[in-house]
Amino acid sequence: MPIAVYGHYGFSLLMIPTAAADYLEYQRFGLIDALAPMIDAGKVKVFSVNSINMESWMNKQMDGAHKAIRQNQFNEYIFNEVVPFIKNATSAETPIILSGASFGAFHSVNLYFKRPDLFAGVIAMSGVYDLMEYTHGYYDEQVYFNSPMHYIPNEQDHDTLEKMRNGKIVIATGSGSNEDPEANKRFSDMLHNKSIPHTLNIWGNDINHDWPTWLKMLPHFLREKRKEKREE
């Protein structure tokens, strides 16, 4: 699958598209332009991958079991092909932050918690983290293992939990049209119950599930990350 690359690097940002979009979506809707000051200053190198959602959960003609198989193939593609590609384009020591909006937020969170050894954190915007929201009632073991609201509460391995706790996790949403702040609160409560440090940001009723929100959110949280790094 194609990958779009922008900028030099202080850290790497791996972006996952929204529901049925492609690897150039964030450029088309202006988010790469919004990040341009950080990209041009060499603070971040941005990688944007293609979506497989129309070959999985967004494909209404596809059998549920086959959708789950495609989801797992996407995960393995990120872990085994995209991460090495990023490391080769930067360095083995350069941290990788995941980010996405809407269904891209779900993917970003799921990828982080499945392999916290590979990623330094996640910035998730306007997401829902229960895969059952997208499966139209289908449920099997692979849905369970790709649904953070299901598998994280049952994680008992100390080393895995410690890796989960080491990253910088931002869960952000608005409270306006088509946003679901209650789902984000439930996810935050679950992370608290597992002693996983994170930041929950719920913005106001004027913050809708749309591009103007994400154009504000992502630069804001990346600036906060840079500020935290300077203060360490």
Tens digit of each residue's pLDDT (9 = 90 or more) over 146-200 = 999 999 999 999 999 999 999 999 999 999 999 999 999 999 999 999 999 999 9
Is residue 225 scored above 70 in pLDDT?
no
Per-residue confidence at 115, pLDDT binned at 50, 70, 90? very high
Q: What is the C-alpha separation between 157 and 122, in angstroms, rounded?
A: 21
Question: In this structure, what token pair is assigned to residue 133?
Answer: 């929201």
Residue (of 147, 202, 200, 198) closest to 179 by Cα position: 202
95-105 pLDDT, tens per residue?
999 999 999 99
Share of residues in the chain with pLDDT > 70 (%): 95
Q: What local confidence, expressed as pLDDT, does residue 112 receive?
A: 98
Which distant-in-sequence residues (6+ apart) come within 8 Å of 228 by Cβ? 168
Q: What local confidence, expressed as pLDDT, does residue 231 receive?
A: 46
Is residue 230 scored above 70 in pLDDT?
no
CA distances from 132 to 2, 19, 66, 76, 129 (A): 28, 15, 15, 21, 9
- Residue ranges in the chain assigned as alpha helix (H): 25-28, 31-34, 36-40, 64-77, 83-89, 103-114, 141-144, 148-151, 158-166, 181-193, 211-231
Longest distance between any two alpha carbons in the chain, whole Å: 51
Q: What local confidence, expressed as pLDDT, does residue 181 receive?
A: 98
Is residue 201 scored above 90 in pLDDT?
yes
Per-residue confidence at 1, pLDDT binned at 50, 70, 90? confident
pTM of the model: 0.93
Is residue 25 scored above 60 in pLDDT?
yes
Is residue 232 scored above 50 in pLDDT?
no
CA distances from 66 to 106, 115, 149 (A): 19, 22, 21
Once rounded to an integer, what is the mean pLDDT over residues 108-130?
A: 97
Name beta bridge partners: 168.
Answer: 121
Q: What local confidence, expressed as pLDDT, does residue 7 receive?
A: 59
Which CATH number goes with the domain that contains 58?
Answer: 3.40.50.1820
Q: What local confidence, expressed as pLDDT, does residue 223 receive?
A: 85
Give the structural domain span for 91: 3-231
Q: What is the C-alpha separation between 94 and 86, in angstroms, rounded?
A: 9
Q: What local confidence, expressed as pLDDT, does residue 17 receive?
A: 96
* Length of the chain counted residue by residue: 232
3-state SS class at 214:
helix
Q: How many domains does the chain have?
A: 1
Q: What is the residue whose two structure tokens read 């967004």?
A: 58
Most confident of 38-47, 130-139, 154-163: 154-163
